[in-house]
Chain A
Amino acid sequence: SQTIHQWPATLVQPVGSPLSLECTVEGTSNPNLYWYRQAAGRGLQLLFYSVGIGQISSEVPQNLSASRPQDRQFILSSKKLLLSDSGFYLCAWSRPGAYNEQFFGPGTRLTVL
């Protein structure tokens, strides 16, 4: 069966500090991978998605970037965090070629102070 991991679970960072959130998927090959941010009462906002190693599509221009160094690893980064980067970050995966049925990880709660 497939499993998706995210870490850390919670993170408190000062404004201007760098960020690295990691997501890994087990039990599947060549998955589509996604990064979402969830703000209270506003649903999920797609930030980035990837259909393969080194292939990243950005949905929203902002202070964040994503990378996919390995088939089942997806990383969300920032060089300098802003207060507005606070939120609940979710990684998800779907089968190759299937964009609709997405499965989410446990999430990382980021607080920028």
Chain B
Amino acid sequence: QKEVEQDPGPLSVPEGAIVSLNCTYSNSAFQYFMWYRQYSRKGPELLMYTYSSGNKEDGRFTAQVDKSSKYISLFIRDSQPSDSATYLCAMSEYGNKLVFGAGTILRVKS
């Protein structure tokens, strides 16, 4: 079993839809949770950074962490074609390296 599991997609949605992207993990010591957006042939861009459980909102993006279920989510409201990218989750223990999911390909159709 991989430490971090992420559905590779692709996930195709119409413009304006609410998108839900998810990751599950097995290491209960993970405390820091990140979401990165990566456009084709570009480096990943940090979107959201959260510590421990709870929600964090930034514009159209909401990150949710449920440590009891070892499950994290990224919600995108009012999705746009420019949101089409690969979304990577990443997480780590305190003072330790990041462990990445394989990424979910998102396609938002206009």
Residues of A in contact with B (beta carbons under 8 Å apart): 6, 41-44, 46, 49, 59, 88, 90, 99-107, 109
Q: Is the interface of B mostly helix, strand, loop or mixed?
A: loop
List chain B residues, Cβ under 8 A from A42.
102
Q: Which residues of B contact A (CB under 8 A)?
A: 4, 6, 8, 32, 34, 36, 41-46, 49, 88, 90, 92, 95-98, 100-103
Contact A100 B88 (CB under 8 A): no
The residue in chain A whose Cβ has the minimal distance to the Cβ of B6 is A43
Given contacts A46-B98, A59-B97, contact A99 B43 (CB under 8 A): no
Per the bound structure, the CA–CA distance linking A100 and B44 in Å amounts to: 14
Contact assessment for A90 and B44 in the assembled complex, using a CB-CB cutoff below 8 Å: yes
Considering only CB atoms, which chain A residue lies closest to B92 in the complex?
A100
Name 7 A/B residue pairs within 8 A (Cβ), A-sorted: A6-B43, A46-B98, A99-B96, A101-B49, A104-B36, A107-B43, A109-B41
Contact B97 A99 (CB under 8 A): yes
Question: Contact at B98–A103, with CB atoms within 8 Å?
Answer: no
